[in-house]
Amino acid sequence: MKVTNLDERIHVLDSSANVMTVIRDIGNSGVQEEAFYVLDIGDIVRKHQIWKEQLPRVDPYYAVKCNDSLTVLEVLAALGVGFDCASKSEINKVLGIGVDSSRIIFANPAKPASHIRHAAAMGVDTMTVDNESELHKIKQLHPVAKIVIRIRCDAELAQCQLGMKFGCDPTHEAPNLLHLARMLELDVVGISFHVGSGCQDPPVFQRAIRHARILFNLAIDLGFKPYLLDLGGGYPGVKGSSIDKIAEVINEALAECFPTEDVHIIAEPGRFYVASAFTLATSIHSKRAVRKDPTSPNTVTHVMYYINDGVYGSFNCLLYDHQQVIPLPLKNGCGKMIQSSIWGPTCDGLDQVVENVLLHDMDLGEWIIFENMGAYTLPVASPFNGFPVPKVHVVADEGVWLMLKDAFPLTEDHFVIGNTPSNLRLGLDIGGTNIDGWTDPSIDMAASEILAGSSDPTASFLYDYVEKMVRGRMLDL
Ligand SMILES: Cc1ncc(COP(=O)(O)O)c(C=O)c1O
C-alpha cells in the first residue's frame, strides 16, 4: 500500500514524551516561529474506546466537515468508523484513502445536482433528504438511492443550532415525504436527525428517537422496509466533557423504541472524536502596553498581545462555532497579573482571540497554548493577510503505534519512530522533559475490542497478535 499522506507522518513518542513535552521542545527549539498544532492520535483512539463502551449499539459515522485532516480520516478508517460526507469532495477524500462507499452516508439534505450524480457514480447510495424538491431531484439523478428522511428535533440548549436550516417537521412534513417517496417509487430506508451541535439537552435524544419510531411504523405501513436509524451529531468532545448522560438517554430510548437488532443504528459524531486531540501553540510576535489611567500616566493598565493565529485562521471557531478558548502560557509566569487581551495577526479589528484575561507579563516569542482546538477549526481556516494556517505535527505513543501500524489504510510507512533525522528536522528531538500536571490516560480496552468492526477482516487477528507481543515484551521486562 502506498503512503498517501507523507505530509503528516505520525511521530511515535517514547514513554517520557507527551503532547506538552513536544510543544515545549518545538517551541523552545529556537527555530520555530509560526503557530503549530500537535495532534495526538491516541486521543482519538481513546474517544473511540469510550464510544464503543458507552454506545455499543451505535456505529459512528464521523462527520468529515468537523476536521478533514487526512490523518484523522485514516485513523478513524483504521478503527472501522464510517463517514458522514457533506459534498463531492468530502466523498472523494474518504474514498481516496480506500474506504468502501458502503461506509459513507451523504448526510446533506440539500445537495447540488452534480454532487448527487457523483455520489451515484461512486456507489454512495445512502443519503438524507428533508424536502419534496430533493426527492424529485434524487428520482431523476439517483433513482436507486437509499433515502433517509431527516426530521427536526432541536435541543433546548446547543452550541450551534441546526434545526432552522435542516430537518422536516416529524409530525406533518415527514409523513408527506414518505407518501411522496412511495408515489415516486423511491426507497426510504430510515430516519435521521441532528439535535444541534454541542448538545446540552440529553433528553432531546429520547424525543427524537420516539418521533423516529412513529415514522418507522408509518413507513412500514406504506410498504417500505426501513432498517436505518441515524442519531446525527451533537456529542461533546473537549477535555473533561462526557457523553455519559447522552449515552444513557440514547440507550434507554433505543431499548424502548428499537429493542431488536434488525435496525442498524448509526450516528454522525464530529467534535466528539477530534476536539481534544488537537492542541494549538501560538507565539507572541508583538505586544502593546496600554496606559489609560490619567492619574498615573506611567502605569500599564492593560496589555495587548498579538499572536500568529487568529479568527481568520484557527480561531474562526470563535465566530462560527461559538467556542470559548482558554489561553495557557507555556512558561510559568511570576509577578503580578495584568488585565490582558489576545489578538490575531491580521489588520482587522475583529481579529480578537481573547477579550479580557488576567495574565502574568509575557515577552515577545513566548508561547500561548490552546487545548481542544480540533473541532471546526482547521477546515475553515484561511491564510488571510498572508498569515499561514498552522502546520500539524502528529504524534502517537508506542501502544497506539503497535495497534494501528498495520490497520488499513495505515501502514508502517505512516509512522516515524525514534529520533530519526526527520524527527530532528521537525524539532521533535524529544528529550523527555518532565511536565507537571499533564497525564496521559492509558488505554485499557484490548486493542482487538477497540478495532472491532474494522473493515479489514485480518484486523482482529493482527491486533490479538500485537497484544500478545506487547504483553510478551512486558513480561520480559
Ligand atoms: C449533518 C451533520 N452531521 C453531523 C454533524 C456533526 O455534529 P457534531 O460535531 O456536533 O457531532 C454536523 C455538524 O454540523 C452535521 O451538519
C-alpha grid cell for residue 294? Answer: 490619567
Each residue's pLDDT tens digit, 193-208: 999 999 999 999 999 9
pLDDT at 437 over 70: no
pLDDT at 375 over 70: yes
Residue that is written with C-alpha cell 497478535 in the block? 465
Cα dist from 403 to 42, 97, 386, 467, whole Å: 10, 19, 40, 8
42-274: CATH topology is TIM Barrel (3.20.20)
Q: What pLDDT is attached to residue 445?
A: 65
Check: CB of residue 365 under 8 Å from CB of residue 228: no
Mean pLDDT of 86-90: 98
DSSP 59: E
Query: Residue 360 contacts by C-beta under 8 Å, 6 or more apart in sequence?
Result: 329, 333, 334, 335, 336, 337, 338
Neighbours of 140 (CB within 10 A): 12
Check: CB of residue 256 under 8 Å from CB of residue 212: no
Nearest CA to ligand 1 atom 5: 233
- At residue 241 the predicted structure's pLDDT band, cuts being 50, 70 and 90, is very high
Which of 85, 199, 257, 347 is catalytic? The answer is: 347
Mean pLDDT of 340-367: 97
pLDDT at 415 over 50: yes
The answer to whether the CB of 134 is under 6 A from ligand 1 is no
Task: Name the least confident of 93-107, 175-189, 332-346.
Answer: 332-346
Q: What pLDDT is attached to residue 256?
A: 98
- At residue 426 the predicted structure's pLDDT band, cuts being 50, 70 and 90, is low
Q: What pLDDT is attached to residue 417?
A: 84
Q: What pLDDT is attached to residue 51?
A: 98
* Residue of 300, 164, 133, 152 whose CA lies nearest to 215: 152
Mean pLDDT of 308-319: 96
- At residue 460 the predicted structure's pLDDT band, cuts being 50, 70 and 90, is very low
Q: What pLDDT is attached to residue 419?
A: 56
Check: CB of residue 271 under 8 Å from CB of residue 197: yes
Neighbours of 331 (CB within 10 A): 14
Which among 65, 106, 152, 231 is the best mutation to test ligand 1's pocket, defined by most ligand atoms within 8 Å of the CB?
65
The answer to whether the CB of 66 is under 6 A from ligand 1 is yes
Q: What is the mean pLDDT of the chain?
A: 89
- At residue 276 the predicted structure's pLDDT band, cuts being 50, 70 and 90, is very high
**Residue 153 designated active-site:** no
Residue ranges, comma separated, of all CATH 3.20.20.10 domains in the chain are: 42-274
pLDDT at 3 over 70: no
Mean pLDDT of 284-308: 95
Mean pLDDT of 278-293: 96
Which among 66, 76, 377 is the best mutation to test ligand 1's pocket, defined by most ligand atoms within 8 Å of the CB?
66
Residue ranges, comma separated, of all CATH 2.40.37.10 domains in the chain are: 276-389
Each residue's pLDDT tens digit, 248-274: 999 999 999 999 999 999 999 999 999
- At residue 443 the predicted structure's pLDDT band, cuts being 50, 70 and 90, is low
What atom of ligand 1 comes closest to residue 150's alpha carbon?
Answer: 1
The answer to whether the CB of 60 is under 6 A from ligand 1 is no
Q: What pLDDT is attached to residue 399?
A: 94
Mean pLDDT of 373-394: 95
- At residue 424 the predicted structure's pLDDT band, cuts being 50, 70 and 90, is very low
The answer to whether the CB of 47 is under 6 A from ligand 1 is no
The answer to whether the CB of 232 is under 6 A from ligand 1 is yes
Q: What pLDDT is attached to residue 7?
A: 59
Q: What pLDDT is attached to residue 31?
A: 86
- At residue 300 the predicted structure's pLDDT band, cuts being 50, 70 and 90, is very high
The residues that bridge with 342 in the sheet, in sequence order, are 305, 354
276-389 is classed in which CATH architecture? Beta Barrel (2.40)
pLDDT at 371 over 50: yes
pLDDT at 439 over 70: no
- At residue 390 the predicted structure's pLDDT band, cuts being 50, 70 and 90, is very high
Residue that is written with C-alpha cell 508506542 in the block? 398
- At residue 477 the predicted structure's pLDDT band, cuts being 50, 70 and 90, is very low
Q: How far apart are CA 462 and CA 477, in angstroms?
A: 23
The answer to whether the CB of 63 is under 6 A from ligand 1 is yes
> To 5 degrees, how large is the angle CA 168–CA 174–CA 175?
160
CA of 343 to the centre of ligand 1 (A): 29
CA of 285 to the centre of ligand 1 (A): 35
Q: What pLDDT is attached to residue 459?
A: 41
Q: Which residue has the higher pLDDT, 453 or 316?
A: 316
The residues that bridge with 160 in the sheet, in sequence order, are 197
pLDDT at 5 over 70: no
